C-alpha cells in the first residue's frame, strides 16, 4: 500500500491531515546507519582526494601530508585545525574568522617530489640519456611563501621558476637567490625592452635565465639589447604546434593559438640568429597546447611533434639542449579518471612522465640527436592539492513544513482548486507519481491565477506550496533543493567557478559519520545572481548536505573546497568589496599532530577600500565628525558618541565577511544610571583606535 493511502480522505475538513502527512514523512526519512567510509564513497574523496585526503573515524576530513607514505599518527584532522584557528586567543586559539585558506607545505613538497620521482623513474626505465628539471610557473599562485617553498623543496632537483611578466620576473629572480644555481628561469610572455633588459641583467647576476620568444619581432630587441649590455643571451622559441587540444583549456592551441611561432617564423628566427652570429644562443624549445591535457595519446602527439622541431633546429646548427613541454599536466577534480571530461584526466603522474620521455627519446633516436634536458611547467599539478578553502554555511533556505493551518486552507478551497487538489491526493494515494506530478503543477498554477485575481490570500498560496511539498515528501518523490547561504564570495575565492564553469570538489569537512539527506546548492554573500555554485563534480546539479542546524546548539556547518590552490587567488576580484580570506600554513609536527607555522590575516574593510582608491583614514574622520554633529539628546538622554566612534573604527578594521556569534555589546550609563547598548560589529572585545593623519 502506498505511504499515503491510509491518510488521504476524499472529503475535506480532516484536521489531522498535516499530522498524518508528517508521520508518513518520518517513515520515509527514518534514520539509517551510516559510516565515514560511505561518505568517502559518496563524495568520491577516495578517488579525487587520494593520497592526500580521507575521512577519519570521527567523521572529519583527514589530511595526509606525506601522501601515501603518511603514517596514521601523522594524519591531520581538518576540524581540529579549524577549531584552533577559530578559537579565542585566551583559550590558545588564533582568534580568526572564516572564510579561511589552509595551506599544507608538506603536501606541496610531496607533490614536487612525486613529479620528480615520476620523471626519474621514466628516464631510468627507458634508458634516457639526460635528466628532468622542472620549473614552477608563478602565475598559478604568486604567494610569496608558496614560491619560497618551491625553491626550497626543489633545490636538490635544480627546480626553477617560470615568469610571464615583469613583476613575476622580479619575483622569480629574488626568490632564486636562495635557489639552485643550475635552476632554470624561463621567461615567457610578451616582452618589451625593459623586460628583455631585466632578463639579461639576470644572466649577469648568475641566474640561468632563458628568453622565450613569443613573437618574431622580439628577436630584434633581444639582439639589440644584448649587444648594448654586452651579455650573451640564452634564447628559446615557443612553437605553435599543429596538434590541437579539443577541450575547454585547449581553445588557444593549434594553428590559431594565441602564443608561439609558426614553422615559417621559426625558420626565420634561426636564419636571423645565424646572420647575427648568435645561432649558438638558441638552446630551448617550448610549447604549450593547453591546461588539463586529457590523455597521454594527445600528449604523445604534441610532444612528438615538438621533438621533431627540436631535432630540425639541431640540424640547422642551433646549440639546443632543453625541450620545455610547458603546462598541461592535469589533475582529476572529480575522481572519474576520464579522458573525456574537462574536470578529469585519464592518467597519473607516472603515465604522464613516461609518455613525455618516450616521445622525445623516439624522435631524437630516429634523428641521432642527443637527448635534451626535459623541462615542464606543471603548476596546476604542483600547488592545487596543498590549499583548502574552508567556509561556513550561515543558513539554509528551502520549502519548509511550517504549521500554516492547512485545515483552514483545505476547508476554503472551491471550484477548480478543490477539484485539482482532490485529483492530486487521489493520485498520491495510488502511488501514481506521473499523475501526481501533473496534478501538482496544475493545482499550483490554478492557485497562482486565483491569487493574481485576488480571490486567494497570501496564506492560501503559501499553504498550496507547503501541502504539495508535504505530500511529495510523504511519497518519497520530493526533489526539492535547498539553498545554503555561505560566508564567502565566489568572485573572490572561486573565480573559475563562475568564469569558466570549473567544478571543484566541495565537501563537508565534518559530520561525515552522518548521512547527508538534503540536496543543496551554495549561494554566496555578493549581490549578484552569478554568486552561486549549482554545478558540482560528476555533472551533479546539487550537492548532498546535512540538515542545517542552529549554530547556538550544534556549532557551525563547515565546508571545504579542495584542489583550488592554482589560479583562484590570483584571479579573484573584489566584487562587493569582499577581499582575500585569512590564510594559515599548517605543517605536520612530531610532538603534536600539527602546528600552525604562519598566519596571514585577510584584508580588512579599510584595506579593501584603499585598493579601490578610497582613503579610509579620511572616511573615518568624516564619519566621526558626523557622529559629533548628530548624536545629541534622545528621549532617554545623552548617547555616548564615543561608543559609536569605536564601532566605526571596528568596522574599518574588521574583515568584510560576516562574523557569526561575535557581536559584542558596549554598555554605558546615562547620568540617571540607566544603560544604553550600542552594538559594535567586531570580534573579540578589543578596543581599536584608528589613527587619522
pLDDT at 656 over 70: yes
Residue 453 half-sphere exposure toward CB, CA atoms < 13 A = 8
pLDDT by residue (tens digit) across 390-443? 999 999 887 555 555 555 666 677 888 888 888 888 888 888 888 888 888 888
Q: What is the pLDDT of residue 549?
A: 79
Contact yes or no for 154/181 (Cβ under 8 A): no
Radius of gyration of the chain (CA): 31
Residue 255 half-sphere exposure toward CB, CA atoms < 13 A = 3
Residue 535 burial (CB count, 10 A): 15
Arithmetic mean of pLDDT, 15-36: 58
DSSP code at position 132:
B
3-state SS, residue 53: strand
Q: What is the pLDDT of residue 13?
A: 43
Arithmetic mean of pLDDT, 579-602: 90
Q: What is the pLDDT of residue 468?
A: 79
Distances (CA, A) of 615 to 206, 576, 693: 42, 17, 11
Q: What is the pLDDT of residue 484?
A: 95
Q: What is the pLDDT of residue 679?
A: 35
| Residues in CB range of 302: below 8 A, 6 or more apart | 241, 243, 245, 287, 289, 293, 325
Is residue 447 annotated as a catalytic residue, yes or no?
no
Q: What is the pLDDT of residue 181?
A: 97
pLDDT by residue (tens digit) across 488-522? 999 999 999 999 999 999 999 999 999 999 999 99
Instruction: Supply the mean pLDDT for the chain.
Output: 87
pLDDT at 14 over 60: no
Question: 17-28 and 458-475 are packed helices; what angle lies between their axes, rounded to 10 degrees?
Answer: 40
Can you tell me the distance from the alpha carbon of 395 to that of 391, in angstroms, rounded to the nearest whole number?
13
pLDDT by residue (tens digit) across 215-257? 999 999 999 999 999 999 999 999 999 998 877 777 777 777 7
Q: To 10 degrees, the CA torsion angle through 682, 687, 692, 693?
A: -120
Distances (CA, A) of 678 to 403, 559, 638, 643, 675: 36, 33, 13, 7, 10
pLDDT above 70 covers a percentage of the chain that reads 85
pLDDT at 634 over 90: no
Distances (CA, A) of 201 to 137, 174, 208, 219: 20, 13, 11, 17
Arithmetic mean of pLDDT, 50-57: 97
Q: What is the pLDDT of residue 253?
A: 73
pLDDT at 669 over 50: no
pLDDT by residue (tens digit) across 253-309? 777 777 899 999 999 999 999 999 999 999 999 999 999 999 999 999 999 999 999
Rounded to 5°, the CA angle 288-294-299 comes to 50
Higher-pLDDT residue of 29, 386: 386
Q: What is the pLDDT of residue 3?
A: 45
pLDDT at 16 over 70: no
Q: What is the pLDDT of residue 693?
A: 29
* Strand duo 482-486 + 506-508: pairing: unpaired
Q: Look up cell 609518455; give the residue.
A: 355
Nearest to 52 by CA among 34, 35, 37, 74: 74
Higher-pLDDT residue of 438, 212: 212
pLDDT by residue (tens digit) across 313-340? 999 999 999 999 999 999 999 999 999 8
* Strand duo 582-587 + 595-600: pairing: antiparallel
| Residues in CB range of 461: below 8 A, 6 or more apart | 447, 448, 451
C-alpha 457 chain-centroid distance? 45
Q: Which member of 6, 311, 527, 669 is catalytic?
A: 527
Q: What is the pLDDT of residue 405?
A: 57
pLDDT band at 673, cuts 50/70/90?
very low
pLDDT at 644 over 90: no
Q: Is 538 left (phi over 0), alpha (psi -120 to 50) or beta?
A: left
pLDDT by residue (tens digit) across 142-198? 999 999 999 999 999 999 999 999 999 999 999 999 999 999 999 999 999 999 999
Amino acid at each position: 500500500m502506498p505511504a499515503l493511502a491510509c491518510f488521504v480522505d476524499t472529503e475535506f475538513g480532516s484536521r489531522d491531515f498535516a499530522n498524518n502527512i508528517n508521520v508518513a514523512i518520518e517513515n520515509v526519512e527514518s534514520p539509517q546507519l551510516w559510516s565515514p567510509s560511505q561518505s568517502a564513497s559518496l563524495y568520491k574523496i577516495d578517488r579525487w582526494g587520494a593520497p592526500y585526503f580521507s575521512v577519519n573515524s570521527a567523521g572529519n576530513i583527514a589530511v595526509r601530508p606525506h601522501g601515501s607514505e603518511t603514517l596514521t599518527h601523522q594524519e591531520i584532522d581538518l576540524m581540529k585545525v579549524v577549531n584552533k584557528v577559530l578559537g579565542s586567543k585566551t583559550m590558545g586559539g588564533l582568534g580568526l574568522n572564516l572564510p579561511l585558506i589552509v595551506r599544507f607545505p608538506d603536501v606541496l613538497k610531496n607533490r614536487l617530489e612525486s613529479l620528480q620521482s615520476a620523471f626519474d623513474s621514466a628516464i631510468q626505465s627507458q634508458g634516457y640519456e639526460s635528466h628532468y628539471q622542472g620549473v614552477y610557473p608563478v602565475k598559478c599562485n604568486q604567494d610569496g611563501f608558496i614560491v619560497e617553498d618551491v625553491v626550497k623543496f626543489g633545490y636538490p632537483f635544480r627546480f626553477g621558476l617560470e615568469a610571464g611578466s615583469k613583476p613575476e620576473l622580479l619575483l622569480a629572480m629574488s626568490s632564486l637567490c636562495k635557489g639552485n644555481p643550475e635552476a632554470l628561469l624561463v621567461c615567457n610572455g610578451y616582452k618589451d625592452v625593459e623586460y628583455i633588459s631585466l632578463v639579461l641583467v639576470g644572466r649577469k647576476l648568475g641566474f640561468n635565465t632563458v628568453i622565450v620568444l613569443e613573437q618574431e619581432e622580439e628577436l630584434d630587441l633581444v639582439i639589440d639589447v644584448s649587444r648594448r649590455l654586452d651579455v650573451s643571451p640564452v634564447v628559446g622559441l615557443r612553437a605553435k604546434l599543429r596538434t590541437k587540444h579539443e577541450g575547454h583549456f585547449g581553445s588557444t592551441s593549434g594553428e590559431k593559438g594565441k602564443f608561439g611561432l609558426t614553422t615559417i617564423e621559426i625558420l626565420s628566427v634561426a636564419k636571423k640568429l645565424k646572420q647575427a652570429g648568435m645561432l649558438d644562443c638558441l638552446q630551448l624549445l617550448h610549447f604549450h597546447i593547453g591546461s588539463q591535457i586529457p590523455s597521454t595519446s594527445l600528449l604523445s602527439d604534441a610532444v612528438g611533434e615538438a621533438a621533431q622541431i627540436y631535432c630540425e633546429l639541431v640540424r640547422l646548427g642551433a646549440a639546443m639542449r632543453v625541450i620545455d613541454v610547458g603546462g598541461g599536466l592535469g589533475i582529476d577534480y572529480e575522481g572519474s579518471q576520464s579522458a573525456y571530461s574537462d574536470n578529469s584526466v585519464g592518467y597519473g603522474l607516472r603515465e604522464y612522465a613516461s609518455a613525455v620521455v618516450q616521445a622525445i627519446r623516439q624522435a631524437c633516436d630516429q634523428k641521432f640527436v642527443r637527448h635534451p634536458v626535459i623541462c615542464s611547467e606543471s603548476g596546476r599539478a604542483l600547488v592545487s592539492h596543498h590549499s583548502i578553502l574552508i567556509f561556513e554555511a550561515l543558513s539554509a533556505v528551502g520549502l519548509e513544513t511550517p504549521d500554516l493551518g492547512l485545515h483552514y486552507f483545505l476547508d476554503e478551497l472551491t471550484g477548480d482548486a478543490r477539484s485539482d487538489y482532490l485529483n492530486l491526493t487521489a493520485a498520491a494515494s495510488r502511488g501514481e507519481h506521473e499523475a501526481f506530478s501533473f496534478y501538482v503543477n496544475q493545482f499550483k498554477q490554478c492557485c497562482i491565477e486565483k491569487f493574481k485575481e485576488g480571490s486567494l490570500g497570501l496564506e492560501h498560496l503559501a499553504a498550496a506550496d507547503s501541502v504539495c511539498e508535504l505530500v511529495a515528501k510523504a511519497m518519497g518523490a520530493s526533489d526539492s533543493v535547498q539553498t545554503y547561504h555561505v560566508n564567502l564570495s565566489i568572485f573572490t575565492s572561486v573565480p573559475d567557478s563562475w568564469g569558466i564553469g570549473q567544478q571543484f570538489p566541495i565537501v563537508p569537512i565534518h559530520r561525515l559519520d552522518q548521512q547527508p539527506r538534503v540536496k543543496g546548492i551554495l549561494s554566496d554573500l555578493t549581490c549578484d545572481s552569478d554568486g552561486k555554485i549549482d554545478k558540482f563534480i560528476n555533472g551533479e546539479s546539487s550537492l548532498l548536505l546535512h540538515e542545517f542546524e542552529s549554530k547556538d546548539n550544534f556549532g557551525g556547518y563547515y565546508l571545504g573546497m579542495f584542489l583550488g590552490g592554482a589560479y583562484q587567488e590570483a584571479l579573484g576580484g573584489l566584487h562587493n568589496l569582499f577581499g582575500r580570506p585569512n590564510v594559515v600554513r599548517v605543517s605536520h609536527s612530531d610532538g603534536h599532530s600539527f602546528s600552525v607555522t604562519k598566519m596571514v590575516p585577510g584584508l580588512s574593510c579599510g584595506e579593501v577600500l584603499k585598493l579601490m582608491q578610497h582613503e579610509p583614514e579620511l572616511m573615518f574622520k568624516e564619519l566621526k565628525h558626523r557622529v559629533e554633529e548628530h548624536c545629541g539628546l534622545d528621549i532617554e538622554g545623552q548617547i555616548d558618541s564615543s561608543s559609536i566612534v569605536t564601532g566605526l573604527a571596528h568596522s574599518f578594521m574588521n574583515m568584510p565577511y560576516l562574523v557569526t556569534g561575535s557581536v559584542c555589546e558596549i554598555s554605558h550609563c546615562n547620568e540617571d544610571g540607566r544603560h544604553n547598548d550600542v552594538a559594535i560589529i567586531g570580534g573579540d572585545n578589543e578596543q581599536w583606535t584608528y589613527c587619522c593623519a
